[in-house]
Structures are given as structure tokens and as C-alpha cells.
């Protein structure tokens, strides 16, 4: 969760940190991570980071029952991922399974777009595309998805 946000302006090698320090002083006891990013266009998130760090997390937050993002992943995987099959010795029927995390990029893009469309059509939830998340205006959502990478990070001194 983003606890504070603000601007640090650097001029002639001096950083005005007053706003930053004021917001840090207001935090309750605990351990916090931080990100500093410029106001330029964001890089494209990898597909799985976009899927889990933004798309499914945002859906989980906005849906009334707040389903777990992993449950949403399985739900959409079953709805939109291609079915693979194989013969297992000793079994009479062909075994069918999904493997979205290992699909080619084009297939993953297809499923991501289907999820975005599904969210709007079924739940009236407007989610950003990967391209929209790259815009400078989407910094907060981008930072939230990116920060998810560091949630279990522990600084070692």
C-alpha cells in the first residue's frame, strides 16, 4: 500500500527533502520500503508482473467480495487460456490442463486483453492496458505493481 507520495526537486545538486521527511515522520511504527521515480514515461511491465502486480490485484480490490488474486488467476486461466492435453500411462482418458504462465507472449497478451474486456463487460471495472500503464499519468498504479516485487524484501545491514 502506498502510504505517502510527494515530490523531491533537485536543483544544482541539492535535494529539497522537506516534503519527504515530513511524510516519513508521520508514519506509524513499522518497516517501510520506498521507491523514487522520475516523472517520465514508465517502462512496460513484464506480462506476469502486469497480470499479478496490477490487473488481478486491482480486480481483487474493486470486486465486492475481494477474491484472492491467485483465485482470479485460476478463474481466468480456466476461462481463456488454451487447454493442453497429454496421455498419461495407465489412464484411460486424456489428461487436460492449463499452463498460462508458460504460454507464448502472444497468447498471454490475448488472455490479458480478454481479462480487461471481461472486467468491463461483466463487472463494469475499467482496467488499464499495459500500454496505458506506461504513461506518466499512471505512475501510482505502475509504482504499486512494481513495488509488489519488493514486498518481501528485507534490507540487510
Question: DSSP letters along 89-143, please?
Answer: TT-SSPEEE--GGGS-HHHHHHHHHHHHHHHHHHH------HHHHTSGGGHHHHH
Answer whether residue 73 is part of any domain.
yes
- pLDDT attached to residue 157: 37
Tell me whether residue 27 is in a domain.
Answer: no
Judge if pTM exceeds 0.85.
Answer: no
Q: Does residue 139 fall inside a structural domain?
A: no
Whether 83 is covered by a domain: the verdict is: yes
Domain span at residue 94 reads 47-133
Strand pairing of 84-86 and 14-16? unpaired
For residue 82, tell me if it sits in a domain: yes
∠ at Cα 53 (114, 39), nearest 5°?
Answer: 105
Query: Would you say residue 1 lies in a domain?
Result: no
How many domains are contained in the chain? 1
Q: State which residues of the chain have pLDDT below 50.
A: 150, 152-157
Q: What share of the chain has pLDDT > 90, as a percent?
A: 43
Q: Is residue 118 part of a domain?
A: yes
Amino acid at each position: 500500500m502506498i502510504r505517502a507520495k510527494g515530490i523531491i526537486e533537485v536543483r544544482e545538486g541539492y535535494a529539497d527533502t522537506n516534503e519527504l521527511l515530513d511524510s516519513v515522520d508521520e508514519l506509524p511504527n513499522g518497516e517501510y520500503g520506498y521507491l523514487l521515480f522520475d516523472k517520465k514515461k514508465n517502462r512496460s511491465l513484464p506480462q506476469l508482473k502486469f497480470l499479478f502486480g496490477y490487473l488481478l490485484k486491482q480486480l481483487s480490490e474493486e470486486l465486492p467480495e475481494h477474491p484472492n488474486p491467485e483465485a482470479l488467476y485460476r478463474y481466468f486461466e480456466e476461462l481463456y487460456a488454451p487447454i493442453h492435453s497429454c496421455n498419461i500411462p495407465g489412464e484411460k482418458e486424456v489428461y487436460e490442463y492449463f499452463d498460462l504462465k508458460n504460454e507464448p507472449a502472444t497468447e498471454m497478451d490475448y488472455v490479458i486483453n480478454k481479462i480487461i474486456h471481461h472486467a468491463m463487460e461483466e463487472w463494469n471495472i475499467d482496467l488499464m492496458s499495459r500500454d496505458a500503464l506506461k504513461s506518466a499519468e499512471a505512475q501510482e498504479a505502475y509504482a504499486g505493481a512494481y513495488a509488489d516485487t519488493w514486498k518481501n524484501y528485507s534490507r540487510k545491514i
